[in-house]
Amino acid sequence: MNTLSVRLNGDTKELNIQQEFIYKNSSKYTLDVLYFNDWAHAYSDKNTGLAKRFAQEFKKSLHLAKDQERGKTTILSAVDDEYRGLNWERTAEKDIIKVILNKPLKPGDQVQLYMTYTVKLPPDKYTSYGYNNRNEYYLKDWYLSPAVFNNGKWHLYSNKDLEDLYTDITTTRVSFQYPKNLYLTTNYRNLGTSNFSNGKQTQLEALKQKNCEIILSPFQKFKTHVTPYMTVVTDLHSPKYDVISQGISIDKVSKFIYDNLGKYPHSQLLVSQKNYNKSPLYGISQLPNFIRPYEEQFQFEMKFLKTALNKFLEETLYLDPRKEQWLKDAIANYLMIDYVEEYYPNQKLLGKLSKMWGIRGFNLAKMDFNEQYPFLYMLTARKNLDQPLRTPNDSLIKFNQKIANKYKAGMGLSYLADYIGKDKIDKSIKTYFKHYSLNSAKVIDFESILKRSTDTDIDWFFRDYLSTAKKIDFKIKKITKLDDSLRITLKNKEGTNVPISLFGIKNDTVISKYWFTDITSEKTFTIPRGEEERMVLNYDHKIPEFNERDNWKSLKGFFSSNKKLQFRFFKDTEDPYYNQVFYVPVLNFNIYDGWSPGMRIYNKTFLEKPFVYDFAPSYAIKEKALVGFGKFNYRKYLSKSGLYVANYGFRASTSHYQKNSRYTTITPSIGFGWRPDDLRSNKRDFLSIRHVNVFRSLDENLENVETDPDYSVLNARFTHRDNGIVDYFSWFADAQYGKDFSKLSFELEYRKLFENNRQFNFRFFAGKFLNNSIRPDIRFFDFALDRPNDYLFDYSYLGRSEETGIYSQQIIIAEGGFKSKLDNPFSNNWMATVNTSINVWRWIEFYSDFGFIKRKETKERLVYDSGIRLNLVTDYFELYFPLYSNNGWEVSQPSYEEKIRFIVTLSPKTLTGLFTRKWF
């Protein structure tokens, strides 16, 4: 029994709470301590589980928050039923409280606790919970709730913004007092509201219901829909879908949920826009409203269905939400797939866009709406980032936690329904709800119900599909046509022993379907021969198969099975019946080539594939010559962790490095990558080995190329990187060997973001020639203080040979990393430098560089510089204004504008990495 008396102070954004809690020991163990979830305290500082998770996902808002912007719980008193004080302490992650009982609590006994505390609410910019500047409040997981004790242990889960509070089932009463200008909406039963001169007081009650959710707003946004199946309170709406039609759709969806899950056991189901924003319809439905790819009715119903299903399951199935979340995800997404198949069977993924000229020819435009489930799951599977469905929620990478694993779980039940019969799955779900709703449920109970529903062996589903990240991948190896039958040999490419479906197709119509099992490696089956024109594995895409490009064979002869070439403008999804070639215009720039328009030709689809080719021939307008690049790359994923990937590449490129002077590089390479067992970790190690072959031609009017025009360098580099947003640490060791020299270098970089928003940057570089037989006056292969020679053509210089003018002011932080242009900046012996900076205000920083540089037959010398850095986007767009260096006070010297340096990144792929890194 849980009773709370609460008062909201609108001025201080605090909740004053008096809580009476009766805890009954229903276990067989004697308890000396009790644990309570205090998730409101997760916002208290930068060391909580929530703050650390945000840092992993490159979100620094909570780390940098001011004290007045943090949420916290302040416990004023805690006593037992004899009014004796209770000792308590916080666990390491600070949002779980350990209460030490004054006397042991034996099995079957109960204890009464009284706690008085205040909760300082956070602004809603972190997780959407808290308050906003419109005087609205969204309260969830805001008071002390009992942690779960079963099987002899406490289940203690910190708040990590995963919507997975694990608390005991209680009867709760709340007396909530709040300012009179606000309206209250809740998931609990509202027993009535009283008005006072200084505010309102609402009485709430819930039986066997989880944490009380309260939404307060100056506006009456929520509407109550009383349907024959449940009472719904919602603020979901669609501006272009009239209110009456919305009510009809809510009734329609409510009936669907009732028919598939049963009666909602509580007084009302709260379906809010806030809930939806936490788990939206990912993909094309998130496009701006003016695009509106779907019909209003479909989009509203899917939006309402997803949010209602998630809330229904959250309020009725009391599974362990961190370790057994997959079952709720499976049921919710299975029913969403079922809803579309029942009411919108012809709905396309791109909606109305699929009929537009210029789009309708794409394979993406032909995909059905439900095909997004295997497609989005495969985004991480193809990157070797997929994780088993039984992985704890807080161990999943963000894309898997939000999308891929949820979709794979729903597909799993759909796959199973297709195999054993949909009626069996539907009946099993309803039976599970009938017996385990509002009770301490277990996944094993659902497994038992499913297995009893069929005589077919479905152990593979729990053994392989749920518990591992094994890939499913089959191919038709051979078909032999006999007089009245077909002899078909199927190959299991991954060895995952699961059923596979085979379809007979004629004129894009299914005329036969078979299921085959127990194919551990290779197996031959004989089926009747009808009018089939081709045989296709997994034609309806019910199975999340890793590669569907080898899933079909034609029965019209050998040549008819060969895939035809398909040229497509821009990237598309995979079409298994064609060898796809994509093309797209490109436009590059450097000052020697000028603008270089061209056509990029490649085979990379939206999903990653092992072998990729990419060619981009371009025409340099200024040089009136062909330039561009071409590459082949084969990527082999080896395991989930440890040595996880190998890359084999071959690249060639050509461009101009001076007027009428061309360079061409040909580079074979091999690389390996390592990562830890924790896929959420940003730590990575890479080893790359390449042989760079450079061929140069020289304009006869130029005389400043001092080296042989052609040369080769063998280069090996080992890199370690941990690119956190709060703590960034990386280093590499690099070795180069050429005909006339060999050299070693080492670079270390560290960034620290402090709680006061100060960021300190430290970089160390050291380089040493092991041997160097090049003439001292030739500096092409030397280490450089401020502008590397880039003889391997790795850097994106806009004017790589420029010594004066704006293009010479481009800087790439490599080797010495200096910003000022000093005299004699090259070393043919050794060099060691340190680059530091710290921000003064927001993105304005002070930088300082110093080090030693040594040339052969000369004494080492001290070099230094300092200035102001405008760190607008780190590593992507920065400006440097030198102040003082070996040159003296540079700001007082002539032509200061020529001393300003800049970093600019024009690569779209590099820039998009800023936005995708938090997902993968």
- Tell me how far apart the 2 most distant CA atoms of the chain are, in Å: 100
What pairing do the DSSP bridges indicate for beta strands 231-234 and 269-271?
Answer: parallel
Same domain, 635 and 543: no
Answer yes or no: is 249 within a domain. no
Query: What pLDDT sits at residue 130?
Result: 95
919 — pLDDT class (breaks 50, 70, 90): confident
914 — pLDDT class (breaks 50, 70, 90): low
Write out pLDDT tens, residues 68-82. Answer: 899 999 999 999 988
Read off the tokens for 426.
């539907």
Residue 126 sits in a domain whose CATH number is 2.60.40
Average pLDDT, stretch 113-123? 97
- Over 90: is that where the pLDDT of 907 sits? no
> For residue 319, what are the CA distances in angstroms to 23, 241, 450?
20, 36, 17
- 73 SS3 class: strand
Same domain, 170 and 50: yes
Angle between helical axes of 243-261 and 422-436 (0-180°, round to 10): 90
Answer yes or no: is 444 within a domain. yes
Write out pLDDT tens, residues 182-228. Answer: 999 999 999 999 998 889 999 999 998 888 999 999 999 999 999 99
CA atoms of 881 and 866, how far apart (whole Å) = 9
The number of beta carbons lying within 10 Å of the beta carbon of residue 620 is: 24
Answer yes or no: is 830 within a domain. yes
Same domain, 637 and 544: no
Same domain, 532 and 647: no
Average pLDDT in the chain:
92
- Over 90: is that where the pLDDT of 429 sits? yes
| Residue (of 574, 552, 573) closest to 562 by Cα position | 552
Write out pLDDT tens, residues 257-302. Answer: 999 999 999 999 999 999 999 988 887 666 666 677 899 999 999 9
911 — pLDDT class (breaks 50, 70, 90): low
Q: In this structure, what are the phi and psi dihedrals at residue 263, rounded to the nearest 5 degrees?
A: -75, 135
Same domain, 347 and 326: yes
CA atoms of 365 and 573, how far apart (whole Å) = 9
872 — pLDDT class (breaks 50, 70, 90): confident
- Over 90: is that where the pLDDT of 664 sits? yes
Answer yes or no: is 804 within a domain. yes
Answer yes or no: is 572 within a domain. no
**CB-based contact 748:763 (threshold 8 Å):** yes
Write out pLDDT tens, residues 438-481. Answer: 888 889 999 999 999 999 999 999 999 999 999 999 999 999 98
Residue 363 sits in a domain whose CATH number is 1.10.390.10
- Over 70: is that where the pLDDT of 574 sits? yes
pTM over 0.95: no
DSSP, res 400: I
Same domain, 641 and 621: yes
> For residue 268, what are the CA distances in angstroms to 182, 654, 779, 816?
21, 67, 78, 66
Same domain, 870 and 885: yes
Structural domain span for residue 530: 474-562
Residue 501 sits in a domain whose CATH number is 2.60.40.10
Same domain, 702 and 730: yes
Average pLDDT, stretch 836-860? 93
Average pLDDT, stretch 680-685? 94
What proportion of the chain, given as a percentage, has pLDDT over 90? 78
**CB-based contact 137:214 (threshold 8 Å):** yes
Angle between helical axes of 443-452 and 422-436 (0-180°, round to 10): 140
Write out pLDDT tens, residues 575-606. Answer: 888 899 999 999 999 999 999 999 999 999 99
**CB-based contact 789:803 (threshold 8 Å):** no
Average pLDDT, stretch 565-570? 90
**CB-based contact 187:212 (threshold 8 Å):** yes
CA atoms of 802 and 792, how far apart (whole Å) = 17
Average pLDDT, stretch 851-871? 94
- Over 60: is that where the pLDDT of 236 sits? yes
